[in-house]
Amino acid sequence: MPSILIADRDQNERIGIGWLVSSYAIPYDKVHSAGTMEDVFEMMEAHSPEVLCIELDMIGRGQWDRLKLLVDQYRPTVVVTTSEATFERAMQGIGLFARDLWLKPQTPEYIRRILTRCCQERLDRKRMNEEKGTGSDNDRDVSYLDLFFPGHVQAKSYSLMLAQLEDPKRHPELLRFFEEYPFRDKPDLLPLGDAIVGVFPADAAVSPSTFNQMGKRLLMDWEASNDAPLFLVMYDASNHEQSLNETYAEASQALQVRFFKGYRQVTVMDNRVNWTMIDPFLTPAEQRTWVEMLDEGNREELKKWLYTHFFFKEEPYPEPGLLRIRLTSILAQVRRYMISRGLDALPLEEEYHRVFETILYSPILYRIVVELLLFINQLLDAAHHPIDESRVDVVEQAIRYIEGRYTDPALRLEEVARYIDRSPSYFSTLLAQKQGSSFRQILTSLRVKEARRLLLETSLSVQEVAERCGFINANYFSKIFKEKTGTTPRLLRNQKKR
C-alpha cells in the first residue's frame, strides 16, 4: 500500500488530514507527519513516501533546491497547499510536478477525494508496472510541467478540451462536473486560474466530428443543471506530432475566439488561430468623422459606425488585443468631446472610467460596444437635453420594468439598463447602492416568489411552473428554489396537500 507524508506548519492541519485518511479508510499503509522542512527531508529520505502533501508557505528560499532534488529522486505524487492565491505559488507547485493545488481552507470532501485518487493512481501504476515486468515508476501522468514547459514530454498527438466559465469563482463546480462526467476516454484534468484543461489520452480515437458532438453534449449537460455561462474549446491535434506545451499554446489561443462568439458556445479547432492584423488606431479621417458625429449628436450614424466596424460574424477575426486598442482610440475622441462640453464631472467622469475598464477587461466584444454606445448616448443627453436627474428615480423605473418582465427567461441586466438609458455597469452600481441587491438577486427573488404562489394555488406541474416563472429548465428551477426557500417544489406542494 502507498504511504503519505503530510507536511504543514499547523499541527491542526496535519492532524485533520491524517484523521480524514483514517476515518474514510483511504488505503495508505503509513501516514507520516512533518512540521518543519528538516523533518520533511528526513522523512523523505527515511521512508520514501509515495504521496507528499506539503504546504508551500513552509518552504524557505534556501530549501527549494533540496526539495526538488528529493522529489525528482523519489518521484512522489505531490499535492501542494497554500493560503495565497498567487501566480508565484502556482508556479512553485508546477516546479514540484504538483498533482493538485489546494487553496486553504479546503473542504474535507475535496481533500478526501483527491487523496483517494492519488492513492488509487499509485496502486494502478504499481499494478501496471508489475504486469509489464518492471518496478520502474518513471512514467508520469500529464502534469502542469508538461503543459507549460517546452519539450518536457516527447511529441505525441494530443487532443485537448479547454473550458472557461464567465465567473471563474465557479470553476470548482465545473471541475466536479468533469470529474463525474462519463467520458468515453477520461481526460487528465488540470485546473488553471482562468480555465480548466482536459488532456485526452494520446491513443484516444477522437475525430473532429466526434469532438464536435462531445463538446455540444458537454455544453448541453452542463446547462441542464447550471446557469453559469460556459465556453468550450475542443482542440483536435490528432494530425500533429508535437509536445503538449506546443499543443496547449495553440489551443489557448482559441479561447480568445470567445471574444467574438460569446459564452454558451463550442469551438472545434485543429490548428492555431490565424488572426487578422489591423491598424488599431483611428486614421485622421476617422477622427474627423467621430468629431463630426459627436458634435452633431448623430446617434444613428454613431451606432451604424460601431456596428459596421466591430461586429464580426466570420473568421478570420482580428486579434482581440488590437481591437481593444482601437476601442480606446475611439474613447479618446469621446473624451475630447466630454472636455469640450464640460461633461468631465461626476457622475459622468466615473462612468467614463468604468467604460475604459470595460474596454480593457470585458471578455465579450458585443458587450463592450453596447456599453460604449450607451455611454455616448448619456453624454449626448447631457449635452443637448440637460435635465435634473434628481427628479427621476431610475432605479424605481427599472424595478417596475423587471416586475413586468421577470417571466421572460431571456431578461438580462443589459436590457433593463437600456430601458432606463444607463450603462449596465452604472445601473448595477445604482442597484447595489439603493436596493442592497444585485440584478440577479432581485430577478431570482421575484421568480421564486411567483413560483411559490403557483405551487400553492394551482395544479400546474413543476415543469410548467418553472417555464411560467422564467426558468430555463425544471432541474435548475428546483435547485434555485431549494437554495432560496429551504425546500423543494415537490415537498412544498406535498405539504399543501396535507
357 falls within a domain: yes
Give the number of other Cβ atoms within 10 Å of residue 353's Cβ: 9
pLDDT greater than 50 at residue 390: no
Domain limits for position 299: 284-384
**For 26-40, 145-159, 172-186, which range has the lowest pLDDT when averaged over its residues?**
145-159
Is 365 within the bounds of a domain?
Answer: yes
pLDDT over 60 at 138, yes or no = no
User: Is 139 a member of any domain?
Assistant: no
Both 292 and 181 in one domain: the answer is no
Q: Is residue 299 part of a domain?
A: yes
CA distance 139 to 210: 29
Which CATH number belongs to the domain containing residue 445 in this structure?
A: 1.10.10.60
CA distance 316 to 456: 54
Domain boundary among 82, 102, 129: 129
Q: Which of 37-41, 131-135, 150-154, 183-187 has the highest mean pLDDT?
A: 37-41
Q: Which of 343, 350, 299, 309 is nearest to 329 (CA)?
A: 309
Query: How large is the average pLDDT for residues 295-312?
Result: 92
The answer to whether 172 touches 114, Cβ cutoff 8 Å, is no
> pLDDT tens for residues 51-75?
999 999 999 988 998 898 888 777 8
Q: What percent of the chain has pLDDT over 70?
A: 92
| pTM tops 0.85, yes or no | no
Based on the domain organization, do 56 and 152 belong to the same domain?
no
* CATH number for the domain harbouring residue 31: 3.40.50.2300
Asked, for residue 276, whether it belongs to a domain, the answer is no
Q: What is the pLDDT of residue 320?
A: 93
Residues 370 and 400 in one domain: no
Same domain, 403 and 489: yes
Buried b / exposed e across 384-398, counting CB within 10 Å, b at 16+? eeeeeeeeeebbeeb
Q: Of 236, 269, 302, which residue constitutes the final position of a domain?
A: 269
- Residue 444 pLDDT exceeds 90: yes
Beta bridge partners of 196: 163, 191
| Residues 332-354 pLDDT 10s | 999 988 888 888 888 899 999 99
Is the distance from CB of 329 to CB of 282 less than 8 angstroms? yes
| CA separation for the pair 316, 313 (Å, rounded) | 9
Cβ atoms within 10 A of the Cβ of 486, count? 9
Q: Domain of 184: which CATH number?
A: 3.30.70.270
What is the DSSP-derived secondary structure letter of residue 24? T
Strand arrangement, sheet containing 230-236: 188-191, 196-200, 159-165, 230-236, 265-269
Give 192's pLDDT tier (boundaries 50, 70, 90): confident
Can you say how many angstroms the Cα of residue 155 is from the centroid of all Cα atoms in its chain? 29
* Residues 265 and 214 reside in one and the same domain: yes
Please give the torsion angle defined by the CA atoms of residues 407, 413, 417 and 420, in that order, rounded to the nearest 10 degrees: 20
**Per-residue pLDDT tens for 222-267?**
998 888 999 999 988 766 677 888 888 888 888 999 999 999 999 8
**Predicted pLDDT at 135:** 42
Which amino acid, 330? I
Look at 100-109, 208-217, 232-241, 379-388 and tell me which has the smallest mean pLDDT.
379-388
Domain count, the chain: 4
| 148 and 37 together in one domain | no
Higher-scoring residue by pLDDT: 243, 479: 479
389 falls within a domain = no
